[in-house]
């Protein structure tokens, strides 16, 4: 079995040798993927932070493998998206099987748009993603991880948080302006504050086996309902890098966990699936019961919850770490603006509102998947099986098959930060949507639209055939929050624009008729758009998006 990959050294914190209590702008509890991404996000915005973790290693065992396009785009902004893509196994297609037939009921593609920098999904072991984040953190000035630093108590004061830390060398106390709790699903911070985690735990058990094998299956997600090798249950197969494969067997409710975990028993299951002569080595085996739970509020004074500490779901839709990274994307710019005095603390309420809504959406979808995979009554099983049978013949039935609705970014359509459309646009990308990517040319070099958007407020102006843009474009100052404008020309359009939309995708998908102006917030979600550039309207929209008008 795969063991611990490596341990990270404990370094004696300077506070143990100083009588003075030190204050940091932000303390992050937990160096999982979400805490580390948060550290980078804040570092990038010039906000100093330290990440405290009670452990000295990255994730061990079978945890996240599927990283969605949006998570990769966020990771790219933080400095490790391309590395994840390079190491990961790219996939866009999946197949659903039912019963004894070796042929799939149907196949699907998870990438809705073509010509994007990142695929619909990659598969990459969580420990690799965490190691890549650590490597970036090691190069940064404003963030650092303290291994084997366990947070044992927190206390909120009028203007900050007092944090008690236990280390192998002794205990110490720190203060911070804000604390981000990213301490995972069993969050001790949540318990310390007595906060609820509402939802349900499902009774079915799942055996997750990561095995090393040589196989030439296509790199697709394969899901079986009621297969002959796991009668009455389900199974899932996924390819990971280094010839590691994830096999997932539903075991049912009342099982003997010890018996089911025995290597010989697991090997028998695997051989029943893959063939009697099948050669493999175990990487890891675990038996899980899954829950869908969330906090009802993520903002508690100066303590902000993110990632699994804030919400957990069954893994079939890969909505755990993927949604946690959207928390980071959402919180980072808001916390930075509040801490820099450029936005009121009320802006953090929008983190609460937007991401609680996202957690509700993820829980609803994930619970729906669990109910489909593990029908609770004979009637729901009959309905489920009939749906699968119909799906083989009729396309309409496929949308009722639920083997996992794979993570897509939450569209913040009801956010109070959006400025409602006053003009008509023939585009699905309405205010609240994360931006679509597109290949563009900038400074004569091919690149990607999202890379050029960066992580501040950005306006995108679609230039017509005329030379020269309207007055006031460029960098617009709005109450100390600058808005950088990118001018976009179509192929054959005027020279001197910031971006050339050489594939025409931006113009087509955003309905970017000449003169249109799109305003994006720092997490690359669209927040307002107009048919005509009006600096006053842009200033108003930025004020709304940063709660200056509330």
Ligand X SMILES: Cc1cc2nc3c(=O)[nH]c(=O)nc-3n(C[C@H](O)[C@H](O)[C@H](O)COP(=O)(O)OP(=O)(O)OC[C@H]3O[C@@H](n4cnc5c(N)ncnc54)[C@H](O)[C@@H]3O)c2cc1C
By the rule CB under 6 A, 409 interacts with ligand X? no
By the rule CB under 6 A, 408 interacts with ligand X? no
Helices (DSSP H) in 138-234: which residue ranges? 188-192
Size of the site for ligand X (CB under 6 A): 35
Interacting stretch for ligand X, rule CB under 6 A, among 61-69, 87-95, 412-420, 518-526?
61-69
By the rule CB under 6 A, 33 interacts with ligand X? yes
427 contacts 493 by C-beta, under 8 angstroms: no
Q: Which residue is nearest to ligand X (CB)?
A: 32
By the rule CB under 6 A, 221 interacts with ligand X? no
Helices (DSSP H) in 301-419: which residue ranges? 321-339, 347-373, 378-393, 395-398
Torsion angles phi and psi, residue 177, rounded to 5 = -75, -45
**x/- track of binding to ligand X for residues 166-205 (CB under 6 A):** ----------------xxx---x-----------------
CB atoms within 10 A of CB 226: 19
Interacting stretch for ligand X, rule CB under 6 A, among 315-323, 467-475, 497-505, 522-530?
315-323
Interacting stretch for ligand X, rule CB under 6 A, among 60-68, 90-98, 337-345, 393-401?
60-68
Give the angle subtended at the CA of 165 by the CAs of 164 and 170, to the nearest 5°.
120
Residue list 12-31, contact with ligand X (CB under 6 A): 29-31
Shortest distance in whole angstroms from residue 227 CB to ligand X: 20
Interacting stretch for ligand X, rule CB under 6 A, among 18-26, 99-107, 303-311, 335-343?
303-311
Residue whose CB is less far from ligand X, 61 or 454: 61
By the rule CB under 6 A, 154 interacts with ligand X? no
- Whole-angstrom distance, CA of residue 123 vs CA of residue 84: 9
308 contacts 320 by C-beta, under 8 angstroms: yes
Residue list 65-104, contact with ligand X (CB under 6 A): 65-66
Pairing type for strands 299-300 and 234-239 reads: unpaired
Binding test (CB under 6 A) with ligand X, winner from 24, 27, 28, 35: 35
- Whole-angstrom distance, CA of residue 379 vs CA of residue 377: 5
By the rule CB under 6 A, 53 interacts with ligand X? yes
By the rule CB under 6 A, 151 interacts with ligand X? yes
By the rule CB under 6 A, 41 interacts with ligand X? no
Residue whose CB is less far from ligand X, 154 or 274: 154
By the rule CB under 6 A, 291 interacts with ligand X? no
Interacting stretch for ligand X, rule CB under 6 A, among 33-41, 172-180, 337-345, 490-498?
33-41
By the rule CB under 6 A, 348 interacts with ligand X? no
Residue whose CB is less far from ligand X, 116 or 322: 322
Residue list 520-539, contact with ligand X (CB under 6 A): none
Identify the CA nearest to 120 among candidates 82, 71, 79, 155.
Answer: 71
Residue whose CB is less far from ligand X, 4 or 386: 4
Interacting stretch for ligand X, rule CB under 6 A, among 307-315, 334-342, 353-361, 469-477?
307-315
Q: What per-residue string of b and e applies to 255-285 under the rule 16 or more CB within 10 Å gives b?
A: eeeeebeeeeebbebbebbbeeeeebeebbb
Total length of the chain? 550
Binding test (CB under 6 A) with ligand X, winner from 79, 160, 307, 522: 307
By the rule CB under 6 A, 32 interacts with ligand X? yes
Binding test (CB under 6 A) with ligand X, winner from 15, 56, 82, 150: 150
Interacting stretch for ligand X, rule CB under 6 A, among 56-64, 85-93, 360-368, 420-428?
56-64
Tokens 């785009």 identify what position? 73
278 contacts 217 by C-beta, under 8 angstroms: no
Tokens (6 digits) for 532: 């005509």
98 contacts 388 by C-beta, under 8 angstroms: yes
Q: Is 52 helix (H, G, I), strand (E, B) or coil?
A: strand
CB atoms within 10 A of CB 303: 23
Strands (E) located in 6-149: 22-29, 49-52, 66-68, 89-91, 93-98, 106-109, 121-123, 143-146
Q: Which spans of this chain sit near ligand X (rule: CB under 6 A)?
A: 29-35, 52-55, 59, 62-66, 126, 150-151, 182-184, 188, 208, 288, 307-309, 315, 318, 320-322, 324
């Amino acid at each position: 079995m795969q063991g611990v990959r490596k341990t990270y050294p404990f370094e004696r914190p300077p506070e143990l040798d100083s009588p003075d209590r030190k204050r940091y702008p932000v303390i992050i509890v937990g160096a999982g993927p979400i805490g580390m991404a948060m550290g980078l996000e804040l570092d990038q915005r010039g906000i100093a932070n330290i990440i405290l973790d009670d452990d000295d290693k990255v994730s061990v065992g079978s945890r996240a493998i599927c990283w969605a396009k949006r998570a990769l785009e966020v990771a790219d902004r933080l400095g490790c998206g391309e590395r994840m893509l390079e190491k990961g196994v790219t996939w866009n297609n999946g197949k659903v099987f039912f019963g004894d037939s070796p042929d799939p009921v149907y196949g699907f593609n998870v990438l809705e748009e073509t010509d994007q920098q990142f695929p619909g999904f990659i598969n990459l072991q969580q420990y690799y993603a965490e190691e890549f984040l650590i490597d970036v953190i090691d190069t940064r000035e404003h963030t650092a991880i303290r291994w084997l630093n366990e947070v044992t108590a927190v206390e909120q004061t009028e203007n900050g948080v007092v944090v008690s830390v236990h280390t192998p060398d002794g205990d110490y106390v720190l203060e911070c302006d804000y604390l981000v709790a990213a301490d995972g699903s069993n969050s001790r911070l949540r318990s310390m504050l007595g906060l609820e985690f509402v939802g349900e735990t499902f009774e079915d058990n799942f055996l997750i086996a990561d095995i090393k094998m040589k196989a030439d299956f296509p790199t697709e997600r394969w899901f079986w309902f009621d297969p002959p090798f796991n009668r009455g249950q389900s199974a899932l197969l996924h390819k990971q890098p280094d010839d590691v494969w994830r096999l997932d067997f539903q075991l049912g409710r009342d099982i003997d966990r010890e018996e089911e975990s025995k290597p010989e028993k697991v090997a028998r299951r695997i051989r029943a699936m893959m063939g009697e002569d099948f050669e493999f080595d175990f990487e890891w085996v675990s038996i899980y019961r899954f829950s869908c739970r969330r906090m009802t509020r993520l903002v508690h004074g100066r303590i902000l919850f993110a990632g699994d500490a804030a919400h957990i779901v069954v893994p079939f839709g890969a909505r755990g770490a993927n949604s946690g990274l959207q928390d980071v994307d959402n919180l980072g710019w808001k916390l930075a603006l509040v801490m820099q005095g450029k936005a009121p603390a009320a802006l953090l309420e929008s983190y609460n509102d937007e991401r609680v809504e996202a957690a509700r959406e993820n829980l609803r979808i994930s619970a729906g998947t669990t109910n489909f995979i593990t029908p609770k009554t004979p009637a729901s099983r009959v309905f489920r099986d009939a749906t699968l049978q119909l799906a083989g013949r009729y396309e309409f039935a496929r949308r009722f098959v639920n083997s996992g609705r794979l993570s897509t970014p939450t569209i913040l359509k009801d956010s109070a930060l959006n400025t409602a459309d006053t003009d008509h646009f023939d585009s699905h990308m309405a205010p609240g949507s994360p931006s679509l990517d597109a290949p563009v040319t900038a400074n004569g070099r091919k690149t990607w639209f999202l890379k050029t958007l960066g992580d501040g407020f950005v306006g995108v102006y679609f230039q017509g055939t005329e030379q020269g843009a309207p007055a006031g474009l460029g960098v617009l100052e709005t109450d100390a929050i600058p808005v950088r404008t990118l001018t976009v020309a179509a192929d054959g359009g005027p020279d001197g624009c910031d971006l050339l939309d050489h594939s025409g995708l931006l113009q087509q998908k955003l309905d970017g008729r000449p003169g249109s102006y799109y305003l994006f917030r720092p997490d690359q979600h669209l927040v307002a758009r107009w048919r005509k550039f009006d600096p006053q309207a842009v200033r108003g929209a930025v004020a709304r998006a940063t709660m200056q008008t509330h």
